[in-house]
Structure 1
């Protein structure tokens, strides 16, 4: 019911046991052929302000942002359902899944809800999923931890720690929280906004202006690189002072595919760390990801 969980199952070697997915699950290759079990209750097409207002209107009416397709779920008869209880805006909620499962015919599936806030929670979730599916998960977690340690050690050796602002939404302005501040610190930077382990905070333009970051990284939740570029350019057009920010004057403003990497608390957070390290310390890290994954805002 959430892309990160689909990726965890696949990374554990169980992709062939997936029988359904959320409307947003699209990795690894092949999962898009699976039946879709969820849908948004709002039109996701539009600029940042329009999408925000549509979602906000649904939440004000105490309605669910996403719906579970009960008929599809009932036909699939899964033994396990992986969902989340972290953010009702990001994916179908645990409450909605529980309500749908209560209406299913036959044996009730086991529901496993993920709620990571720190990197350590992501590793723990992988082991929880592995245990629930009766496979070994320690090896995968150790592999991911080792990747983080190697990348971080090289980044810390750079010595300098640029001041970084990670932007998770542009209108209204929101900084990135949860595991993102940890990734920035591990990548050899200092995260100006957001607190590790806490939800992403709203910002005023004055906050960004006063902090005057050395590096700005746009990673809007659910956006690919092109959508991120459009959102960043829209933010720049709305503020005359944009061109006076230090990061803008030095050309240190970047776009990343947050939808595929940074927004998903799964195995590819290790890749997200590597992307940040490549951005913050290009003198120490060769570029490993294509221009469709991250780019400089020119």
Structure 2
């Protein structure tokens, strides 16, 4: 089997199901597991400089999208050389990875008609597990995927059982982008509640929304968890002026590794939230290097 993964979360799913050695190409954002992606052909690239500040990246993305273009390129020549028979991509977010339409066009251009496209669409926590099962079915390891999902769900339920009994729960805002301020939706509100917090502005079932600084201050959170999609902690810290506009106690999570990757490590993301909300119970379980406080 020859597998191309065009989104980082899909690469993690493929590896968790035991098919890392059958990856023949990955996206420019795929970095985990390191041994699974090391030396693999890179099949995509961004059309903007992803090292810029938050507002600059947002403005660049808006310019590209306003022209009816995709934010990312597919290296058709590299895709053809990789010659996958399964391509895993997504159609949930046009600024998260290459678009589904672009994948279809590239596949029709350079691959055989037998190449299978597996499309993920994670809007909620349940959708993440559905997508894991979908990949498992495509790779003909349905049972293994079901076992993985059961294991992750079980461990997440254990955390929820401990937090649901707690009386004191912090009012939380989860910031997915700094400028403009975007409050995380999709699976994050549900995870905040599971981790023993009270999620602000967005609720379960909502998509990520843009808000004003006034709306953030009006909510008056006890804690702000900053998790910009695709940003490491260091890159987030480079947006100091934007961070200083946020109220309450501020924690920065590695948004490139956690929270924004709807795959097996969603469990670690829940652990991080629980550790921030209730450090007496869960702080020691936060992965090393995953969080930094902003003073």
Residue 170 (structure 2) aligns with: 162
Matched, 1:234 2:241: yes
Residue 146 (structure 1) aligns with: 154
Over residues 47-104 of structure 1, what are the superposed CA-to-partner deviations in whole Å (9 max), with x where a residue is unaligned? 1111111111001111111011111111111110000000010100111100100101
Q: Superposition pairs for residues 62-211 of structure 1, below 5 Å? A: 62-135=68-141, 136=143, 137-211=145-219
Secondary structure of 1:277's aligned partner: helix
Change (3 A) 1:133 1:236: closer
Contact kept, 8 Å, 1:102 with 1:108, in 2: the verdict is no
Q: Hey, what's the Cα distance between the residues in 2 that align with 1:23 and 1:108? A: 25
Q: Hey, what's the Cα distance between the residues in 2 that align with 1:161 and 1:89? A: 33
Q: Hey, what's the Cα distance between the residues in 1 that align with 2:111 and 2:236? A: 42
Contact kept, 8 Å, 1:155 with 1:284, in 2: the verdict is no
Q: Hey, what's the Cα distance between the residues in 2 that align with 1:212 and 1:205? A: 11
Q: Hey, what's the Cα distance between the residues in 2 that align with 1:221 and 1:180? A: 12
Matched, 1:15 2:20: yes
Matched, 1:275 2:272: yes
Of stretches 164-173 and 97-106 in structure 1, the one that deviates more from structure 2 is 97-106
Which 5+ residue runs of structure 1 have no aligned equivalent? none
Which 5+ residue runs of structure 2 have no aligned equivalent? 1-5
Change (3 A) 1:192 1:105: closer
- Provide the aligned C-alpha RMSD in A: 1.3
- Alignment TM-score, normalising by the size of structure 1: 0.93
Q: CA deviation at 1:46?
A: 1.0
Q: Hey, what's the Cα distance between the residues in 2 that align with 1:65 and 1:185? A: 33
Task: Spell out structure 1 runs of 4+ moving beyond 3 A.
Answer: 105-108
Contact kept, 8 Å, 2:45 with 2:74, in 1: the verdict is yes
Residue 257 (structure 1) aligns with: 254
Over residues 199-228 of structure 1, what are the superposed CA-to-partner deviations in whole Å (9 max), with x where a residue is unaligned? 200010010011110111000010011112
Contact kept, 8 Å, 1:176 with 1:193, in 2: the verdict is no
Of stretches 155-164 and 284-293 in structure 1, the one that deviates more from structure 2 is 284-293
